Amino acid sequence: MNEGIIRICLRREDFRMSFTDVFPIVFTLTLVPLELFFFFTGAPLFILAGVIPVLLTVLSTLASILICWAFHFEVGPNGLEWVTLLRTDHIPWTNVNTSRRVGFLGLDWLVIETSDSHSKLWLPLFVRRYHLLRDLLVTFGDPRWNWDQQLPQR
């Protein structure tokens, strides 16, 4: 952010994981072990090359859609709010102790630790509208955490 420029924004945006990033991970992590299992148990080629990949494509698609639908988060001027199947939590910007970007399973995450919790929030950076997410984190987040340098330009 340029020095001397003050940005005022009251915008709140909801973000979900990108299906196109989640699906290959889910598909690969289920396909490889199942193919190996059926290969070593002597399954016919028709099962290995046809039935298992088709069935896992359908099941992985459904699982990926469920994951992307069920887990989402919101970024706003008051902090981060995330929703899971069981609960909704909120972290005010003032409670963020540390943040760092990590890669896991080929996907980028922002790990956020808070002052009032021992748990860490793993914020997915593989979202649709990543540029908007990055802009909101830089705008609203505490400048001490160097959000601008932690979050890559894509």
Q: How many domains does the chain have?
A: 2
pLDDT value of residue 88? 85
Say yes or no: 78 and 145 in one domain.
Answer: yes
Say yes or no: 108 and 53 in one domain.
Answer: no
Residue 133 has pLDDT above 70, yes or no: yes
Does residue 13 lie in a domain region? no
Residue 33 has pLDDT above 70, yes or no: yes
Q: What's the rounded Cα separation, in Å, for the pair 34 and 64?
A: 18
**What crossing angle do the helices spanning 19-40 and 52-70 adopt, rounded to 10°?**
140
Domain boundary among 47, 69, 91: 69
* Tokens 């593989």 -> residue: 126
Say yes or no: 111 and 50 in one domain.
Answer: no
Does residue 2 lie in a domain region? no
Strands 79-83 and 88-92: antiparallel
Categorize the per-residue pLDDT at 114 as very low, low, confident or very high, splitting at 50, 70 and 90: confident
Domain that holds residue 78: 74-150
What would the pLDDT profile of 40-99 be if each residue is shown by its tens digit?
999 999 999 999 999 999 999 999 999 999 889 999 888 899 887 788 888 888 888 888
Residue 1 has pLDDT above 70, yes or no: no
